[in-house]
Amino acid sequence: MKKVITFGEIMLRLSPPGFLRFSQTTNFDVTYGGSESNVAVSLANYGIPVDFVTRLPKNDIGDCVLIELRKRGVGTDKIIYGGDRLGIYFLETGAVSRGSKVLYDRTHSAMAEIQINTIDWSIVFADANWFHWTGITPAISESAAEVCLEALKAADKLGITISCDLNYREKLWEYRGDTKKIMTRLIPYCDYILGNEADAKKYFGIEPDLSSKNKLSEEDIFLSVCEKMMQKFPKVKKIITSRRGCFSASHNSLSAILYDGKTILKSPEHQITDIVDRVGGGDSFMGGLIYGFLKYPNDDQSTLNFATAASCLKHTIKGDVNLVTIEEVEKLMNGDASGRVAR
């Protein structure tokens, strides 16, 4: 089986234990994560060959990243080295009516200072059939955006399937230039897009057609945006979004919608109570989508259901990455949310 390639920044994550606030803690729990590396871990967990491509500092912390990725089965031989530091993010986990909080410290990170012509994409893509990136990478720095474009051109030339999670991050983009101009250069290479109406508006100024006198359903609004996105970016085959209902920081609902240019599909809705860690929920959904598109190429409904169930299960796991098995996801897909002990 050919490989999936994911490209982006992995960071050191520092979190106060439990539900402590930053001002309360005297120590931090340490783990590693980033949107594209999280997707890679999910795929490796499902038995999909996957390489993660990034730039790491050549020091002990960079070595810790390699150890973490390798123990999860992610290929690391395409990673390049340079720069002085790994990006960091701080996570304060919310509870009940207090939301979680993220603070970034990734300026001048190794990945933020990556340059074009430092990665040989012909080697990276030699045995690949899928390339995944997110809107976070071009938000890191101008040079990261240029390398992302370099990768997309190489993948497109080779006929590799390309997916993108739009993943708008206001705290990153607010320091950048013309967001719309940057993303409009990148998205035309994509076959699959994960994103919602808010992403489409932020990145491209695309809004749903609300001219109807009748109250539009959630599906109608999503359909309107998808149609405009596909008109603007004709290579796009499918657009997918997850739907999260936030009753509190500890209780969410989750479902998903997929549009293939003709038909809208919906997943079942899951209730997620007593959330352990919701960071990485979208990445676990994306990992489930890629797995589904590869394993169920003619069954988008199963793909959507698998991705939604995978994301639900991620909320039970501390850390950025989803560490569930195919069997566990399929069990929830089939309606068993009992959580009974497996003996």
Q: Is there a domain that residue 341 lies in?
A: no
Output the pLDDT for position 177: 67
User: Is a pLDDT exceeding 80 seen at residue 183?
Assistant: yes
Whole-number pLDDT of residue 209: 81
CATH number for the domain spanning 70: value is: 3.40.1190.20
| Alpha-carbon span 324 to 284, nearest angstrom | 10
Whole-structure pTM value: 0.95
Residue 177 lies in a domain: yes
- What pLDDT score was predicted for residue 16? 96
Q: What is the mean pLDDT of residues 300-317?
A: 97
Does residue 295 sit within a domain? no
Residue for token digits 């209730």? Answer: 271
With respect to residue 205, please indicate whether it lies within any of the assigned structural domains.
yes
With a cut of 90, say whether residue 21 has pLDDT above it. Answer: yes
Specify if 234 maps to a domain: yes
Domain membership of residue 101 (yes or no) is: yes
Return the pLDDT at 293: 97
Lowest mean pLDDT among 55-69, 160-174, 289-303: 160-174
Domain that holds residue 26: 3-209+216-238
Mean pLDDT over each residue of the chain, to the nearest integer: 94
What distance in Å separates the CA atoms of residue 145 and residue 183, rounded to the nearest whole number? 9
* pLDDT(153) > 90: yes
Question: E strands within 123-250?
Answer: 128-134, 161-165, 192-194, 238-248
Ramachandran bin of 135, using left for φ above 0, alpha for ψ from -120 to 50, beta for the remaining angles: alpha
- Residue 147 inside a domain? The answer is yes
pLDDT digits (tens, 9 = 90+) for 71-95: 999 999 999 999 999 999 999 999 9
- Which one-letter amino acid corresponds to residue 51? D
* 40-60: average pLDDT: 98
Number of domains in the chain: 1
- The most distant pair of C-alpha atoms in the chain lies apart, rounded to whole Å, by 61
Decide if 286 is inside a domain.
no
